[in-house]
Amino acid sequence: MKSGFIKGETMRYARLCSRTKNFNKMIAIFNIRLQRRGYPPEFIKNSMKQINFKLRNKYIISNNNQKRIPYIFKTLYNPKITHNKLREELNNFSHSISSIPNLPNTLKQKITICYKLPPPLHTKILKARKDKGL
């Protein structure tokens, strides 16, 4: 059961990370957390080696019910750009690429919009002061 937990989390990191560098960073952090909880390093290594980032697409699309991780458009929130206008533009984009020959079906799905809040002003000020050595 413990090995399955580690394998499942490692597979989840493979699905969520789009770059090998990010995947390796998350695995290193996960490894440290497990060791702090008392898991033996060799046990962790054996459980994790069953998951390979190169097989990421296999983990994203499951064979039994073809669930897909949604395509996400992440943007900084701007009150001047309405959600409806952004949705319309993304739908137009999806429609325009759908005419490309041999386009995989996975690229024809609806794009999910995610908004990111801008950092608070005090965060920028603190970072600027830190960069200056204050």
* pTM (whole model) above 0.75: no
Predicted local distance difference test score (pLDDT) of residue 63: 54
Write out the chain's pLDDT in tens, 134 residues.
888 899 889 988 988 888 899 999 999 999 999 999 999 999 999 988 888 888 888 887 655 555 566 788 899 988 898 999 999 998 888 888 878 888 777 677 788 899 988 778 777 788 888 888 77
Cα angle vertex 61, ends 95, 9, to 5°? 130
d(CA 62, CA 70): 13
Domain ranges of the chain: 2-60, 71-132
Predicted local distance difference test score (pLDDT) of residue 50: 84
Predicted local distance difference test score (pLDDT) of residue 34: 93
